[in-house]
Structure 1
Amino acid sequence: MPAEQQESVELLDAIPPERQVTLEFQNLCGWVPKVFATPGILPSFKNKNLDKGDLRQILYNVSGTCRPGSVLALMGPSGSGKTSLLSVLGGRTPDAVHLEGKVLFNGDPLTKRMKRKVGFVLQDDLMFESLTVYETLYYAAMLRLPQHMSKAAKKERVETVLKALGLTKCRNTIIGGFFMRGVSGGERKRVSVGHELLIDPSILMLDEPTSGLDATTALLLLGTLRKLAQGGRAVLTTIHQPASRLYQMLDKLMLLSEGHVIYYGDALSVAEWYRKLGYTMPYGMNAADFILDLASGVVTTKKLDGEESRVHCIACAERYLSTHPLGYFTNTPITEEELGPELWSSAQSRKQLDPNPNAEAHLVLDTGTSTDSATSASKESRWGASYTAQIQLLLTRTLKTRRFEALAQEDICQFVIVGVLSGLFWLRSGAGHSLYGAQNSNGLLFFEMMFVAMRAMLGALFAFPPQFQIMVKERASGMYCVSSFFWARMLSDIPIDCSLPSVLIILVYWMGGLRSSAAAFFANWASIVLLLLVAQSLGLVIGALIPRPKTAQAVTTVTALTMVLVAGFFVTNIHAWISWLKYISFIYYGYSLLLHIEYQGRTLYNCDLPDPENNPACTGYSGKALQEQLHLNRNPNEWPWEALALIGFLLALRATVYLSLRYKTKSRVR
């Protein structure tokens, strides 16, 4: 590791003994359903009545220890159970997993208070693409660090993490993603690690942190993890297939094969262990490649094929670990008593056992650590920021993450072009007091409403799932409560989603010649904004309840078309047995409200003459008569109760979104 990087890592304070945590897991067994239900239209719920016959076992009596000051690596081929085991140890066990065994932190089960001392870095770097590196860490610090810390102290912690991880040069670069160029892959991974280092965790868990990185960048990252471990932290990480230099930096190793432990002990002693079992590693071969070949069942001998060798190595490891729970260490003897006569004779038959079984054992035991102080734990607040501060920080962050979305040139051009074209198509068609002009105005009002509402619904449908994934990750870390995220999102919708539609409303309204009144214009604008929020809420509900985008799109299409057809514009006389659908259509209420605003108190004539009021050839229509002539849903002079119906839709749909978020992101400690 370069000297500059090494010095910067030391900027992070060491964990004092009273805050150090030892992780122990004993006889962990895990099962998942043999067949998972295909995601469909309705949300699926966990079936708690499955018996063992309906389940497939993915973990088999896995035991081990991760102590402060060491790096424990979980290795194994794809599908060996590395990520599942790490999720279980980090308190993020999926609902579908049936778990048995114990996971202890300083001898006690995992609690929500202890969980906030565990840093967990996912394999997929879930971050907001439009935030800079500094903004990402800043908002995380303000939300996660304790309330008793001042704002200046929290900002200082951010600067410390930036220096420790070598992110100072890219602090003002956005994270980026598929469509936006941002930081490099190595920098992105270090930001994910820094996100967890902000809370100065006692235990740091990482799921394949070197995945997608080049050898040098991966080596620097693992060197950083070793320095963090030397500061009194317990580091637990999964690694798929490390290079030789990377493997030599590991302290302890747990090798998994289809859910079984096939080796546990010193990382650098694995070649010696397998040599004593009769599997000598070829000269010059990377140890990581050799042991992964063994765990995959591709190493053969004269008497055993690859699968038989794998099963034999699993049996030897399980028999040895039953009497040596700390694992295998360098120069530790292996005797017939420990392996049993059958396994011992099998190993002896290959005549490659260590000729000196009585060599002196060299066992290094880590010292235990004391449990957390009850006094300090009792004073610790549940949240890093107060409730109002959470809403303020999340609102500010949401506005920043959606700034590219709100100011996208394509969207600005779209609203302006559509507004100008529709204004030209209906140019002054609604001016005057004729019934013919009013029919054109009805089409303009329906188009204005439909364009804004359908665009908002589809936008919410596809924009919500990525934010939901980030929310699940942040909620698992205890950053904020669901309601604060919900209110921040709802408040951000008003400036973000209502600004550009307002431009279209202005263009369409005045170019189309709708009612020339300030009160009518602002009532029209407020109604369209209310419809937009209701349509967006429906999109959020569908996006939150239905995980598959294609299924969600199909449901949205059917729902939207049904609501449009019963709104009273395309079909005015619907059969009674199906006409009830209009009462569950927000489009029906919105269109009726816009018609009420346009024609309330007005008299229209069946001619287009200059002075229709004093011309005996013209007949005037208002109220009920106007409703019949224009085929309106209701008498335009009646009280506009449709606004209350739309508000009710908005509240009900937003409440459904909140309940869905609360259910899906419920913090569970298992």
Structure 2
Amino acid sequence: MVMLRMASTEEEERSVGHTPRAKNDSLPDVKVTIGAGHDLDDLGVIEPLPEDKRITININSISARVPLLQQRASLLSRLNPRRIGSSTNKPTHRQVLFDVSGSVRPNEVLALMGPSGSGKTSLLSIMGARDQKQMQSEGTVTFNGQPLTKRLKRRVGYVLQDDLLYESLTVQETLYYAAMLRLPRHMSHEDKLRRIDLAVTALGLGQCKDTIIGGFFRKGISGGERKRVSIGVELLINPSVLMLDEPTSGLDSTTSMHVLTMLRHLASGGRSIVTTIHQPSSRLYQQLDKLLLLSQGHVMYYGAAQQAAEWFSRLGYSLPYGSSLADFILDLASADVSNPERDGEQSRLYLIDTAEAYLRRHPQDGFNMDRDSDSGAGGGATAGPGHISGSGSGSSSPTSISRSDGADIAATRGISGVTVSKLGAQGDIQVAGGSSGALQEEHRWGAPYLTQVSLLFRRSLRTRRFETMKGQDVMQFSAIALLAGLFWLQAGQDNTVLGARNTLGLLFFISMFASFRALFLALYTFPEEYKHMLKERASGMYRLSAFYAARTLSDVPSDFTLPTAFFLVVYMMGGLRYNAAAFFGMYGTMLLTMLVAQGLGLLLGVITMVPKTAQTLASVVMMSMVLTGGFFVTTLPSWLNWVQYLSFIYYALGISLYIQFSSTQLYSCTDPASGDSCAPASLPNPESNPNCFPVYDVQESLALPQNPASQGDAIRNAFVLLGFFIFLRVLVYVVLRRKTARL
């Protein structure tokens, strides 16, 4: 059980914001204990980082734009003459960040605050190299003076606002697979298990460690527990930098305090912590070292979190008595605070303009009340037309700040008129021994390649534990197999031409049904796991090839069990050839056909990443292959004949025909009374019936596009199917690699 011990009532009163904490105070007023008096340091969860692994982050003039939602016009509206030639010079992007700069050093917790839509998550995603492709960004973010490389990214923990966790895994399993894949390979298995147990204890997850994560349709752990699991996954690797997007969202006040206190302890061990917080309480605000306050993408305040009240007080916006400082500054950023001279929006623009003018002179240091008081003139600013001064309680001299221009702020300042400037990297601070060379000494991947494949294979099986062999799937296959067996009951035992035509339909149905199911199941494979893969790949958890191999291998036991049972029932009830070579040959053909169809489904799914779009494409592609497979259409025009060679069902049917009819003598029988072809029941022994004649050209008699008696054609068809299988699997990997090239 997690307990929080507060020092005294007097120190609690300081959380109101009237008596700010000293800048370099470690954290004397809050002590995190677990169970019977054991704190986090005693458990060894938060060990200090060595000097050569500490990282300083510098944010240099970051600006960003996101695309606007452009609704595509319908075909009829685009053909409208009134629309042709009309002006379409509408903006395609909206700017969400404006020339933001700052820094985060080891032992610091930087909070990104601001109202909704202020750009907090956008800035954090750019810092962690998790921004979307559609976002256009300028400026640089450096880590110890270097850009964020793939190797360095493995020392950065990133917790998303939306908890991306596998719903079918338990808490223990989620942490186990993360630890085995991410922790250094030189750690023993026992040490990794101990790290997992310590994380479970530190985050208070002991009571729910054997409960599944759950989701919308399946109940699991609570929202607060999900958030703590997400943080625990990142804490396992003992990161040098930890970035968190709304870590207290959905948590109660006690749990939120526990999380922030843990972040404070992490920072005290030499880590750099960056977190977005929407609306912290006064107690939570006291745990922050530095604050970057954003308002519609502009910096309104950057500096020591405990000096924000004094800064705004000097500018004429004093903290009302008894109010929370966190709520007050958010009201300022939301234009909800006014004074006798300016309304809410004018006040917001005034504070933004003042802050940006100040930060142009101190781009990395931020606001420092002690420095400004010592200088007596706001850091060297001179008074003039844009002179702004104010005084606050406790300051020995006023602060003077020169505004960016002399014009009236409310009249000239506007979001749409701001020009983005790229200042480039400057002020990069090197920590002693803090180059990334020490990070490169560790192996790039936590687990060896084969271990990654094994772990991901086992995890993939567990994530589908509730989807494999469901009752409705068993009922579906049982019903279809039984109906097909009854419709083609012992059709394969009839060696007349009429019976062979029925058998041809059975062979085609086996290939078509297995292919359709495999393809449409594969459409959802990567769209469902794409976000998980992006998150895990961004943190350097495994190789893409290991994930791809494990994910495709895990499909075999789950996706081929029911089709195998279906094949056994249909083969025996349909009366196909009763010998081992024919049985295993037909079974192997069905499996190879399913693998090709599955590869095609994977390709369509990974290209679109939208299941609905993939289904539309798959329907068109599969119908084309079915129609040209050699059963419905046997002859095509010469200019369209090449289409059938693209159908994998065409080759599968050719192999099946060879297996069934290459060693079978067919007879063409006629009824002597009517002269029509005989039904199988009317002539049980066509070999001894004078009205039956042997058929020596099965292809011509059945109007087949391939010769079922040609062994060479059957071998060629098998190699073509194998080539299709290899080509599609390689192509899927290439497309997947291109989509994740940035990771």
Output the CA distance in 1 between the equivalents of 2:567 and 2:337: 71
Match in the other structure for 2:482: 420
Match in the other structure for 1:482: 544
Output the CA distance in 2 between the equivalents of 1:419 and 1:467: 32
Output the CA distance in 1 between the equivalents of 2:115 and 2:436: 42
Output the CA distance in 1 between the equivalents of 2:449 and 2:168: 25
Distance change >3 Å, CA 298–CA 589, structure 1 → 2: farther
Match in the other structure for 1:4: 34
Q: Is 1:645 the equivalent of 2:684?
A: no
**Contact 1:219/1:245 (<8 A) preserved:** yes
Amino acid at match of 1:620: P
260, 264, 268: which one pairs with 1:230? 268
Output the CA distance in 2 between the equivalents of 1:311 and 1:153: 54
1:108 is paired with a residue of what secondary structure?
A: coil
After superposition, where does 1:229-378 map in structure 2 within 5 Å?
229-324=267-362, 325-329=364-368, 333=373, 335=377, 338=381, 341-342=384-385, 344-345=387-388, 353-354=391-392, 357-358=395-396, 369-372=431-434, 376-378=438-440
Instruction: Give CA-to-partner distance per residue, 1:125-164, whole Å, 9 cap, x none.
Output: 2222222222222222222122222222222222222222
Amino acid at match of 2:568: I
Output the CA distance in 2 between the equivalents of 1:368 and 1:572: 74
Instruction: Give CA-to-partner distance per residue, 1:599-643, whole Å, 9 cap, x none.
Output: 222122234322211211112224x3x222223221111120211
Output the CA distance in 1 between the equivalents of 2:249 and 2:381: 37
After superposition, where does 1:81-480 map in structure 2 within 5 Å?
81-324=119-362, 325-329=364-368, 333=373, 335=377, 338=381, 341-342=384-385, 344-345=387-388, 353-354=391-392, 357-358=395-396, 369-372=431-434, 376-480=438-542
Amino acid at match of 1:230: S
Could you tell me how far 1:355 is from its partner in structure 2?
6.1
Match in the other structure for 2:86: none
Output the CA distance in 1 between the equivalents of 2:647 and 2:584: 24
Amino acid at match of 2:684: P
Amino acid at match of 1:629: S
Output the CA distance in 2 between the equivalents of 1:389 and 1:321: 50
Could you tell me how far 1:554 is from its partner in structure 2?
1.4
Could you tell me how far 1:169 is from its partner in structure 2?
2.3
**Contact 1:26/1:101 (<8 A) preserved:** yes
Distance change >3 Å, CA 355–CA 167, structure 1 → 2: closer
Could you tell me how far 1:453 is from its partner in structure 2?
1.3
Moved more, 427-436 or 29-38: 29-38
Match in the other structure for 1:561: 623
Distance change >3 Å, CA 375–CA 286, structure 1 → 2: closer
Output the CA distance in 2 between the equivalents of 1:340 and 1:403: 71
Match in the other structure for 1:592: 654
683, 687, 690: which one pairs with 1:616? 690
Could you tell me how far 1:369 is from its partner in structure 2?
4.2
Could you tell me how far 1:506 is from its partner in structure 2?
0.8
Could you tell me how far 1:255 is from its partner in structure 2?
0.9
610, 614, 632: which one pairs with 2:704? 632
Q: Is 1:656 the equivalent of 2:694?
A: no
Output the CA distance in 2 between the equivalents of 1:186 and 1:502: 44
After superposition, where does 1:484-499 map in structure 2 within 5 Å?
484-499=546-561
Output the CA distance in 2 between the equivalents of 1:263 and 1:273: 8
Match in the other structure for 1:44: none
Output the CA distance in 2 between the equivalents of 1:228 and 1:36: 43
Match in the other structure for 2:564: 502
487, 500, 511: which one pairs with 2:573? 511
Q: Is 1:24 the equivalent of 2:55?
A: no
Output the CA distance in 2 between the equivalents of 1:199 and 1:339: 49
2:546 is paired with a residue of what secondary structure?
A: helix
Output the CA distance in 1 between the equivalents of 2:701 and 2:471: 43
Distance change >3 Å, CA 372–CA 250, structure 1 → 2: closer
Q: What runs of 5+ residues in structure 2 fail to find an aligned partner? A: 5-32, 73-90, 400-428, 670-677
Output the CA distance in 1 between the equivalents of 2:236 and 2:147: 24
Output the CA distance in 2 between the equivalents of 1:358 and 1:37: 58
Output the CA distance in 2 between the equivalents of 1:282 and 1:443: 84
**Contact 1:568/1:588 (<8 A) preserved:** yes
Output the CA distance in 1 between the equivalents of 2:519 and 2:95: 42
1:178 is paired with a residue of what secondary structure?
A: coil
Q: What runs of 5+ residues in structure 1 fail to find an aligned partner? A: 39-52, 362-366
Could you tell me how far 1:343 is from its partner in structure 2?
5.1
Amino acid at match of 1:470: H
Output the CA distance in 2 between the equivalents of 1:216 and 1:313: 33
Distance change >3 Å, CA 267–CA 634, structure 1 → 2: same
Moved more, 273-282 or 164-173: 273-282
Could you tell me how far 1:329 is from its partner in structure 2?
4.8
Match in the other structure for 2:404: none
Equivalenced residues, count: 646
Could you tell me how far 1:373 is from its partner in structure 2?
6.9
Instruction: Give CA-to-partner distance per residue, 1:564-607, whole Å, 9 cap, x none.
Output: 11112222233333332211111222222222222222122234
Could you tell me how far 1:399 is from its partner in structure 2?
2.2
Distance change >3 Å, CA 304–CA 373, structure 1 → 2: closer
2:524 is paired with a residue of what secondary structure?
A: helix
Output the CA distance in 2 between the equivalents of 1:71 and 1:355: 27
**Contact 1:323/1:338 (<8 A) preserved:** no
Instruction: Give CA-to-partner distance per residue, 1:28-77, whole Å, 9 cap, x none.
Output: 23344567798xxxxxxxxxxxxxx9764332221112122221111122
Instruction: Give CA-to-partner distance per residue, 1:403-455, whole Å, 9 cap, x none.
Output: 33323232223222322232233332333223333222222222222222111
**Contact 1:8/1:166 (<8 A) preserved:** no
Output the CA distance in 1 between the equivalents of 2:345 and 2:123: 23
Could you tell me how far 1:359 is from its partner in structure 2?
5.3
1:73 is paired with a residue of what secondary structure?
A: strand
Greater C-alpha radius of gyration = 2
**Contact 1:8/1:163 (<8 A) preserved:** no
**Contact 2:96/2:297 (<8 A) preserved:** yes
Could you tell me how far 1:180 is from its partner in structure 2?
2.4
**Contact 1:129/1:175 (<8 A) preserved:** yes
Output the CA distance in 2 between the equivalents of 1:340 and 1:143: 59
Could you tell me how far 1:120 is from its partner in structure 2?
1.0
Moved more, 73-82 or 405-414: 405-414
Amino acid at match of 2:545: S
Distance change >3 Å, CA 617–CA 211, structure 1 → 2: same
Output the CA distance in 1 between the equivalents of 2:447 and 2:293: 40
1:262 is paired with a residue of what secondary structure?
A: strand
Could you tell me how far 1:7 is from its partner in structure 2?
3.6
Could you tell me how far 1:122 is from its partner in structure 2?
1.4
Could you tell me how far 1:83 is from its partner in structure 2?
1.5
Task: Give % identity.
Answer: 50
Distance change >3 Å, CA 4–CA 339, structure 1 → 2: farther
585, 588, 602: which one pairs with 1:526? 588
549, 568, 577: which one pairs with 2:639? 577
Output the CA distance in 1 between the equivalents of 2:245 and 2:180: 25
Amino acid at match of 1:422: A
Could you tell me how far 1:186 is from its partner in structure 2?
1.4
Q: Is 1:665 the equivalent of 2:740?
A: yes
**Contact 1:123/1:207 (<8 A) preserved:** yes
